[in-house]
Amino acid sequence: MSGASREDRSSDIIDHTLLFPPTGNGDSTMPTQTVPSQVDASYLEFPETTGPELPAIQQARVASSTPITSDNAELNDADADDAEDSDIFETANKPRQHRRHGDEPAKRGNGKRIVVAVVAVVAAAGLVAGGLWWWNSSRDNAAKTAVLNECLDAQHNYDSVAASLKKGVDGTTTLAKLTAKDVTDAATIENFTKALNDAQQARDAKTPAQCTAAMPSQELDETRIAWNTATQNITTANEQLTKTSQALSQSQAAKTLENLRNDLNNAVTTAQEAYDASAGQVADEATRESLLKAIDDAKKLAGSEELTADQVKQAKDALTKANDAVQTSITDLANANAAAAAAAAQQQALAQQQALAQQQALQNQQALQNQQALQNQQAQLPQQPVQQVAPGGDAGNTGDAGTVTDPNAGVIQ
C-alpha cells in the first residue's frame, strides 16, 4: 500500500470513530461486517438511523465503497501493502463513516496530494540537477587545482635548481683564474671554460610565465612543461659545471702536489751536498748527524702519496736548520784553524827573531874575540916607525919632513 492510501484509510478510521462513538464497553456502535475482497455496494448494511442524515450517509457509504477490482490500481496496491499491516487492513474492512457532504473532501485531498507530488518531483529534479552541476563543477575545480599545483611545483623546483646553479657559478671565480702552468692537464681548463659559459647562459635565460589560477588548465599544463624543460636545461648545465670544476680542481691539486714534491726534493739535494762537503770540516760532528737525519725524513715525506704544503714546509725548515748548524760548525772550525795558524806563525816569527838575535850576539862576541887576539899579537911584536907622506909632499922623498910615525901601525882593525 502506498503512503497516500494509508493516510486515506487512517483518516476514514478516525472519521468512523467520531461518527460512531464507542459504547460503555469500548466497542463502537457501528456494526461489524467482514467485507470480501470484491465489495458490492448492494451488500452493505447500515445501522438503523433516524433523521435526515441517512440519505447522505448512505450516499457517502456507497461512494466510498467502490468495488475493489483489478482495474483499480490504487486499491490493488493498497491491498498488497496491507498484507504487512493487519491492523489497518482489518479496520479498512469495517464499514466506513462518510462525511456529510459526500466526496468533496476526498477530491480536495487528492488534489493536494497531486500538487505535493508534483512539487516533490520538481524539487527532486532540481536537487538532482543541482547535485550534478555541483559534482561536475567540483570535479572541474579539483582537476584545475591539481594542474595548478603541478605547475607551481615545477616552478618552485626550477627556482631551487636555479639557485644551486647560481651558487655554483659564483664559486668558480678562483678556478677561472687558473692557467696551464697551474695544472697538470691543460685540457681541464678548456672543458671547464666551456661548461662555465653554458652555465652562465642557462642562468641568464628567459624563464617561462608564472603559474596563476587565472590560467586555463591547458595553459597551466603547457606552462608546467616549459618550467620542467627549463629546469632540465639548468640541471644539465649545473651537472656539467660541477663535473668540470672537480676535474680542474683535481688537476690543480696534482700540480700543487708535484710542485711541493719537487720543492722538497730540491731542498733534500742541497742538504745532501752540504752534508757530503762538510766531512771533516766541522767543529762539531753532531751537527752533521742531525743534518743526515733531517735528510732521511724529508726523503720519506717526498715519496709519500699524501703530501701537504705544511708538511713540506716543516721538512724544509728542518733541513735548513740542520744545514745552518753544519755551516756554522764549519765556520767555527775554520776560525779555530785560522787562530791556531796565526798563533803558530807568531810563535815562529818570535823564534826566528830570537835565533837572529842569538846569531848576532855570537857574531859580535866572535869579532870581539878576534880583536882581542889581534891586539895581543901586536903587543908581542916590536914597534916599527911608520912613514906617512904629508899632504903635498913627495912620496919619493924620505926626508924627515913629512914623516909621521903611526903608533898603531901593524895593528889590524
pLDDT digits (tens, 9 = 90+) for 359-394: 899 888 888 888 888 888 888 876 655 555 555 545
Residue 331's nearest CA partner among 289, 290, 282, 286 is 282
More confident residue, 183 or 392: 183
3-state DSSP assignment of residue 392: coil
pLDDT of residue 68: 42
- Per-residue burial over 181-215, b if 16 or more Cβ lie within 10 Å, else e, is ebbebeebbebbeebbebbbebbeeeebeebeeeb
Residue 11's nearest CA partner among 121, 137, 109, 141 is 109
Residue 335 banded pLDDT, cuts 50, 70, 90: very high
Report phi then psi at 320, rounded to 5: -65, -45
Section 7-29 average pLDDT: 42
| Model confidence pTM above 0.75 | no
What is the chain's mean pLDDT, rounded? Answer: 75
pLDDT tens-digit series, residues 20-31: 444 444 444 444
Residues in a beta bridge with 22: 28
pLDDT at 233 over 60: yes
More confident residue, 45 or 273: 273
pLDDT of residue 276: 96
Phi-psi region of 133 (alpha: psi -120 to 50; beta: other; left: phi over 0): alpha
Residue 111 banded pLDDT, cuts 50, 70, 90: low
